[in-house]
Amino acid sequence: MRWFVQLRMRIQMLIGRGKAGVRLDDELQFHLEQQIAENVAAGMSAEEAHYAALRAFGNPALLREQARATWNWTWLELLVRDVRHGVRTLMRTPGFAAIAILVIALGIGANVAMFTVVHSVLLKPLPFQNPERLFRLYEHSSDDMFAFNIVAGGVYAEWKTQNRSFSDLALLGDAVFNLSGENGQLPEIAHGTNCTWNLFTTLGVRPALGRDFTAADDQRSANGTVLLSWGLWKRRFGGDPAILNQAIHLNRRSYTVIGIMPAWFAYPDAATQLWTPIYHDKPASVMESLGDHEFQVIGRLHPGFTIAQGREDLSLIVRRLHDQHLNNPMISKAAEISPLLDDMVGDFKRPLYVLMSATGCLLLIACLNVANLLVARGAARRRELAIRTALGGGRLRLLREQLMESFLLSAAGGSAGMLLAYGAVQWLVHMRPDMSRVEAIHIDGIAALFTVGLIVLCALFSGVIASFATTDKRILSTLQSSARGSSSGQAGTGLRRSLLSIEIGITVVLLVAAGLFIKSYAHLRSSDMGCATENTLTMRLALFGGRYGQPAQLVNFYTALLERVRSLPGVEAAGFVQAVPGQGYWGDNGFSIVEHPPLPQGEAQFAIFRFADPGYFAAMRIPLLRGRSFDPSQRLDHAREVVVSKSFADTYLPGEDPLGKHLHSGPGAAYTIVGVVGDTRYTPSEEPKPMQYYPLFAGESDNGTLVIRSNREVEQLALPVQRIVRDLDHDLAVSDVLTMDQLLGKSTLDASFDATLLLGFAVLSLVLAAVGLFGVLSYIVAQRTNEIGIRMALGAQREQILRTVLLNGLRPALVGLAFGLFASAGVTRLIRSMLYGTQPLDPAVFTAVTAALFGAALVACAIPAWRASRLNPMIALRME
């Protein structure tokens, strides 16, 4: 029962607190009246009785306080009072509060956004069953130069049957599907994945609707089956379950939809829209090859096995294959494995952590700035605080008030920051669709917890630093020093100078890092691709189905397409190639030079290859250095010419005349080298690699990139060209319609993104540091107005005053600059691998940062210094 009464009491005290206060007053008043009555009864006059009672009673306010202190919820009452007091104090200086909240909001917002990305992408386990046992399996490249090569179909089959360390292995490969329009829909290009039937069981995922693949589906002879992504199902099929067991047409072949994957499922990436069984789709020759490295392999490691054991197991198998087939030099000799999560997000690790450190620095600067502002305000309120202390205000209570203020600022800033972070995350996801696991990026409970943690951290950090400076134990001296005529105490300014130096030092580090990234990005974008990049349009095409079953049909299509595109008004030149510079590595093949002695057994040489039409080099302005391009009249089996790049000639035919030499690659007759062309880069960040161009008109390639060059707005040609494609084949969709500039922009997106973000953070912190410097100096000048007035009255020149104040402000800036440059020299080593063509100690960047920082500091200091030198001594002296 007692607990019930206590509980009722608690509730009463919580909701009826005001009434309880009134009653307490009444109760005490009654006591007083009784005392008076007693006094009167004892023979005193009314007035005398009143005063005697009051004397006996003591301080009624104190008495009330003491009684209230025993009540429940007193802590809450005190908290509310502190909050109210804090809010009121902050409202008195709304400018200060707004700036501080904005600064914290920026700092916390940037951090929460980056944390959300890092947490969702890098840290969260993959949404599969026991994801820690899932691994990506690789072969070494056949020259052992690269340990993380993709895997040949035949090697996978051997691994699957012979390994002991994996409970399941699955194989997958990228596939592009031409999704035919049913019932009047437009055809579209859909990115998909060919996979072995057990991919989803290996991952431990079930379709949301329908059934998974079975081993029977995954055969050349089986009927086509397909699993759709949730997004494709919703978008193209209206989310209608009736699509199950219906046939759709992919590359003009019929596939039955057997299931829909869950909405959250995105493997191997978010762009994947459908999955088909690989042994059904790919010819046996590809699936059984031991030397054609084409596929990704994933595996689930048995619980009892270590990574090293798994690697050893696979390596032994592939090594045995290599030794059994010494005549095939493309078979690799060893295997490698790495956790699936690392494989998916490894490329983003370093950039994300760099950006996260940058936001961390930004938050630190924001906190330092707020601490600085609080110190300034605390100093301005020194007299008030001293008086309150003298009147009996507890030191703890004053400290609590100060912490409450900084907590209020942090909480307001953090809430605003959360909104900012929400926007920032949306923007990030929108900007970086290429990032792995981008679909998993959401602000969740952990991000919210992180925000709360940051708020508390900021509040403690800035509050504690600020209270260091303001809880002055020498009350008397404070009260005295505010007497007229003496310069204000210097307490706090030393601390503020150190804070400023730290702030400026961190800013310098950020600026240097941003500068390096920008320079690196500029290098990247200005790297010579070796071909035309202006007014050049590209679009990808893939030819499918029975209509292109014969090489001659492919060649006819290409001939007709190029003829009609070239005759379009405005088109200067057009060509067709498997992949243009900047579209990636694509593929390489092994070759031998007929005129050279054979390579030792087991050794191979290989180079990138492309199929190109005779007009491609002219269309892309790739210079023809020697010889000629392909003979356009040589078609199909007669097209046995090859064009090589300059670095190919230099690497494999040094000091020889490449023209007329013969390359052997694959089955069939050798190819004659008829020309040498300039080098091109397959991606902007890599030096040109040796390249071979084989004739498109041999009819061996069914997909590639159409390039169109014009002398004016080339994008206007996109629609007419697409119309030509439709006229030639109404069921054919083009994809990736991009100008060369856009294409290169896309391939350097990560570099530009990193550089832009980092620059943003650096500029922000520069502004914060400058504002901090300005604030401190303005404050010092305001404090010393009296002193400056006296100096002037005694004959000091304005220039002298200007110089003194300027030096006063520049000193912490210079200390910070030196410290920052020193730190940068160490820190930039860590980002060396992310820089392209730029040294971590790039003198131009360091000089530019020094100049920018010095300039900003000078401006920030010049204004208060100039103001000080303009002071009117009479007014300054009269001012109290």
Partner 1 sequence: MGKPSDLLQGTLDLLILKTLLMEPRHGWAIAKRIQQISGEVLQVQQGSLYPALHRLEQQAWIKAKWAASETGRQAKFYSLTAAGRAQLEKETANWSRLSTAIDLIVNEA
Instruction: Tell me the window of 57-65, 502-510, 691-699, 829-837 that interacts with partner 1 (CB under 8 A).
Output: 57-65
Angle between helices 395-431 and 340-380 (to 10 degrees): 140
- The residue with tokens 């690659």 is 665
Q: Which is nearer to partner 1, 56 or 851 (CB)?
A: 56
Q: Which is nearer to partner 1, 21 or 545 (CB)?
A: 21
Minimum distance of partner 1 from residue 53's CB (angstroms): 11
Instruction: Tell me the window of 58-66, 244-252, 449-457, 859-867 that interacts with partner 1 (CB under 8 A).
Output: 58-66
- The residue with tokens 């302005």 is 621
Instruction: Tell me the window of 20-28, 133-141, 424-432, 462-470 that interacts with partner 1 (CB under 8 A).
Output: 20-28
| CA 659 – CA 646 distance, rounded (Å) | 12
| CA 455 – CA 468 distance, rounded (Å) | 20
**Cβ neighbours of residue 626 closer than 8 Å, sequence gap 6 or more:** 658, 659, 675, 676
Amino acid at 609: F
Q: Which is nearer to partner 1, 27 or 637 (CB)?
A: 27
Instruction: Tell me the window of 1-9, 121-129, 215-223, 324-332 that interacts with partner 1 (CB under 8 A).
Output: 1-9
Minimum distance of partner 1 from residue 2's CB (angstroms): 4
Helices (H), 254-394: 278-281, 284-288, 307-324, 340-380, 382-390
Q: Which is nearer to partner 1, 68 or 252 (CB)?
A: 68
Size of the site for partner 1 (CB under 8 A): 28
Minimum distance of partner 1 from residue 44's CB (angstroms): 18
- The 10 Å Cβ neighbour count of residue 869 is 21
Minimum distance of partner 1 from residue 27's CB (angstroms): 5
Q: Which is nearer to partner 1, 31 or 621 (CB)?
A: 31
Minimum distance of partner 1 from residue 14's CB (angstroms): 12
Contact call for residue 5 and partner 1 (CB under 8 A): yes
- Name the nearest CA neighbour of 492 among 647, 656, 379, 338: 379
Q: Which is nearer to partner 1, 11 or 186 (CB)?
A: 11
Per-residue binding letters, 205-234, with partner 1 (x by CB under 8 A): ------------------------------
Q: Which is nearer to partner 1, 66 or 797 (CB)?
A: 66
Q: Please list every residue from 302 through 341 that binds partner 1, using CB under 8 A.
A: none
Instruction: Tell me the window of 56-64, 127-135, 255-263, 572-580 that interacts with partner 1 (CB under 8 A).
Output: 56-64
- The residue with tokens 């922000």 is 764
| CA 291 – CA 322 distance, rounded (Å) | 10
Instruction: Tell me the window of 60-68, 267-275, 415-423, 532-540 that interacts with partner 1 (CB under 8 A).
Output: 60-68
Q: Which is nearer to partner 1, 67 or 560 (CB)?
A: 67
Q: Which is nearer to partner 1, 10 or 596 (CB)?
A: 10
- Is the Cα dihedral 351, 352, 356, 359 positive or negative? positive
**Among the listed residues 71, 305, 353, 854, the single contact to partner 1 using CB under 8 A:** 71
**Among the listed residues 44, 63, 624, 818, the single contact to partner 1 using CB under 8 A:** 63
Q: Which is nearer to partner 1, 74 or 716 (CB)?
A: 74
Question: What six digits make up the tokens of 30?
Answer: 């009654």
In whole angstroms, how far apart are CA 40 and each of 36, 46, 282, 400, 807? 6, 6, 113, 47, 76
Q: Which is nearer to partner 1, 33 or 384 (CB)?
A: 33
Minimum distance of partner 1 from residue 13's CB (angstroms): 7
- The residue with tokens 């950006």 is 355
Minimum distance of partner 1 from residue 57's CB (angstroms): 6
- Name the nearest CA neighbour of 772 among 455, 368, 379: 368
Minimum distance of partner 1 from residue 37's CB (angstroms): 7
Contact call for residue 62 and partner 1 (CB under 8 A): yes
In whole angstroms, how far apart are CA 544 and each of 178, 179, 552, 707? 7, 10, 14, 20
Minimum distance of partner 1 from residue 70's CB (angstroms): 4
The DSSP 8-state label assigned to residue 548 in this structure reads G
Angle between helices 340-380 and 749-783 (to 10 degrees): 10
CB burial readout 74-111, b (16+ within 10 A) else e: eeebeeeebeeebeebbeeeeebbebbbebbbbbbbbb
Per-residue binding letters, 72-91, with partner 1 (x by CB under 8 A): x-------------------
Minimum distance of partner 1 from residue 388's CB (angstroms): 24
How many residues are given for the chain? Answer: 880
Minimum distance of partner 1 from residue 455's CB (angstroms): 33
Q: Which is nearer to partner 1, 24 or 208 (CB)?
A: 24
Instruction: Tell me the window of 63-71, 123-131, 709-717, 808-816 that interacts with partner 1 (CB under 8 A).
Output: 63-71
Q: Which is nearer to partner 1, 9 or 215 (CB)?
A: 9
Which residues, in sequence order, are bridge partners of residue 577?
612, 705
How many Å from the N-terminal Cα to the C-terminal Cα in the chain? 65
Query: Omega before 614 cis (within 30°)?
Result: no
In whole angstroms, how far apart are CA 228 and each of 223, 233, 250? 16, 6, 12
Minimum distance of partner 1 from residue 45's CB (angstroms): 20
Contact call for residue 2 and partner 1 (CB under 8 A): yes
| CA 810 – CA 856 distance, rounded (Å) | 11
- Name the nearest CA neighbour of 704 among 797, 770, 616: 616
Contact call for residue 57 and partner 1 (CB under 8 A): yes
Q: Which is nearer to partner 1, 46 or 794 (CB)?
A: 46
- Name the nearest CA neighbour of 645 among 663, 662, 619, 624: 624
**Among the listed residues 69, 263, 449, 560, the single contact to partner 1 using CB under 8 A:** 69
Minimum distance of partner 1 from residue 5's CB (angstroms): 4
Minimum distance of partner 1 from residue 19's CB (angstroms): 11
Q: Which is nearer to partner 1, 37 or 879 (CB)?
A: 37
**Among the listed residues 14, 22, 67, 599, the single contact to partner 1 using CB under 8 A:** 67
Instruction: Tell me the window of 22-30, 373-381, 474-482, 723-731 that interacts with partner 1 (CB under 8 A).
Output: 22-30
| CA 843 – CA 371 distance, rounded (Å) | 34
| CA 83 – CA 716 distance, rounded (Å) | 62
Question: What six digits make up the tokens of 482?
Answer: 């505010």
Q: Please list every residue from 23 through 42 that binds partner 1, using CB under 8 A.
A: 23-24, 26-28, 30-31, 33-35, 37
Q: Which is nearer to partner 1, 58 or 433 (CB)?
A: 58
In whole angstroms, how far apart are CA 265 and each of 205, 231, 244, 271, 273? 8, 10, 18, 11, 10
**Among the listed residues 45, 66, 162, 185, the single contact to partner 1 using CB under 8 A:** 66
Q: Which is nearer to partner 1, 69 or 263 (CB)?
A: 69
Q: Please list every residue from 118 through 177 that binds partner 1, using CB under 8 A.
A: none
Minimum distance of partner 1 from residue 34's CB (angstroms): 4
Q: Is 384 exposed, middle or buried (0-12, 13-18, 19+ CB in 10 A)?
A: exposed
Q: Which is nearer to partner 1, 21 or 745 (CB)?
A: 21
In whole angstroms, how far apart are CA 797 and each of 327, 712, 781, 800, 867? 92, 65, 16, 5, 14
Binding site for partner 1 (CB under 8 A): 1-2, 5-6, 9, 13, 23-24, 26-28, 30-31, 33-35, 37, 57-58, 62-63, 66-72
